Chains A and B, each alone.
Chain A
Amino acid sequence: MDLSWMAWTVPTALFFGTIIFLLILMGVWEYAKPGGSPRVGILRFETTRGDRLFLSLLGSAFIHLAWLGLVGPDLWWALGLSLIYAICVFRWV
């Protein structure tokens, strides 16, 4: 099957591979500990593991955009910041 029209590159393949890996990881986590572990965190409403992953990914996207718009093209700092943000979301949200 010719997928050249999709214009794949190594970085974008890695990006989507990471997201698929995260989804599989969430599936395994859910299998090991069913129920999604809902809880009310600092946002004052109930979130499940899936919600926290969604918030982490969405927030990370905006952190990267903000970094690009306000600071510069070097995104390693934005990636680091996103990881810290994701850990905070999973810990406190």
Chain B
Amino acid sequence: MEKTFNNKAWFLVLPVFFLVAISAIIPLMTVVNYSVQDTFGNNQFFWAGTEWFREVLHSSRFYDALLKNLAFSAIILLIQIPLGISIALTMPKKGIWVPVCLVLMALPLLIPWNVVGTIWQVFGRADIGLLGYTLANLGIDYNYANNAVDAWITIIVMDVWHWTSLVVLLSYAGLVSIPEAYYQAARIDGASRWKVFRYIQLPKMNRVLLIAVLLRFMDSFMVYTEPFVLTGGGPGNSTTFLSIDLVKMAIGQFDLGPAAAMSIIYFLIVLLVSWAFYTVMTNYDADAPEKGVQD
């Protein structure tokens, strides 16, 4: 069947283009404009050139926050992706328990970020929170407001609790789309459970896992609300991620120029890492059939 080419169809893209222009392109252009100027408010700007970029690139505060962000994203991906896949693999494929499991899995995703932060803030307190109280009674010295390690553990566990479901639901969608014939063929060949996972389930989940990794990386790299509500970036600066530092700089100190320069560097890093993930995973997918034949 021949495809019909009709360039008028591009007009249908126009509404999306205008939406993206208003929500992303125009703000981004404004940030670029701010990054090369200084302002004291009242729409008065003074040319600063590349000064803010140099300031950010030479500040230990920026690298410190960037390192924290990278560590946080790496830990989140290392925990949530395998955990999400494991849970999806154990979920029922048919029967009454399917909708029950799906609803239970979707529940954490429905809770707004600030509420999640508040829930865990209360949950971790030794005087009124169940977790904090239990740990205190077990003799474990746990205080996320005083101890940097405790604050990190709490934020990581909180994020895992909030977002692993997304990986589970995406992996599950990939798993249920695998035709039964693949499993039958594997049974005939006497494939082990691991080989079924490695050569059937994992390649078939690749597309959805790509989306899961990208979404989780971008979200975790831009994490703001939960740590802000839970620790406010503390104790000290131990949970001051780039986004928290950025808000402190832009709104707290009203340093719009350095904040804009930092936003652009932050944006470029997100873009680079997302592109790298996307390229690696799409090309892995493109190579997979050839490898399968060779195997």
With A6-B30, A7-B37, A75-B50 as contacts: A62 and B272 at CB distance below 8 Å: yes
With A5-B30, A9-B47, A45-B279 as contacts: A73 and B36 at CB distance below 8 Å: no
B residues within 8 A CB of A4?
Answer: 43
Q: How far is the CB of B276 from chain A (nearest CB, A)?
A: 10
A69 interface contact, C-beta 8 A:
yes
Task: Please state if A65 and B53 are interface contacts (CB–CB under 8 Å).
Answer: yes
Task: Please state if B32 and A15 are interface contacts (CB–CB under 8 Å).
Answer: yes
B143 interface contact, C-beta 8 A:
no
B100 interface contact, C-beta 8 A:
no
Which residues of B (27-62) have their CB < 8 Å from a CB of A? 29-30, 32-34, 36-37, 39, 43, 45, 47, 49-51, 53-54, 57-58
Chain B positions 262 through 275: 1 when the CB is less than 8 Å from some CB of chain A, otherwise 0: 00010010011001
Q: Which of A7, A46, A75 contacts B45 (CB 8 A)?
A: A7
Task: Please state if B49 and A73 are interface contacts (CB–CB under 8 Å).
Answer: yes
With A11-B36, A58-B271 as contacts: A73 and B30 at CB distance below 8 Å: no
B26 interface contact, C-beta 8 A:
yes
Interface SS of chain A: helix, strand, loop or mixed? helix
> In chain B, what residue has the closest Cβ to A51?
B279
B90 interface contact, C-beta 8 A:
no
B283 interface contact, C-beta 8 A:
yes
Task: Please state if B30 and A7 are interface contacts (CB–CB under 8 Å).
Answer: yes
> In chain A, what residue has the closest Cβ to B51?
A73
B residues within 8 A CB of A24?
Answer: none
What are 17 contact pairs spanning A and B, CB under 8 A?
A6-B26, A6-B30, A7-B33, A7-B34, A9-B45, A9-B47, A12-B29, A45-B279, A46-B283, A58-B268, A58-B275, A61-B268, A65-B53, A65-B265, A68-B50, A68-B54, A69-B57
A interface residues with partner B (beta carbon < 8 Å): 4-9, 11-12, 15-16, 45-46, 54, 58, 61-62, 65, 68-69, 73, 75
Beyond contacts A58-B268, A65-B53, A73-B50: 4 other A-B pairs, Cβ-Cβ < 8 A, are A7-B43, A8-B33, A61-B268, A65-B265
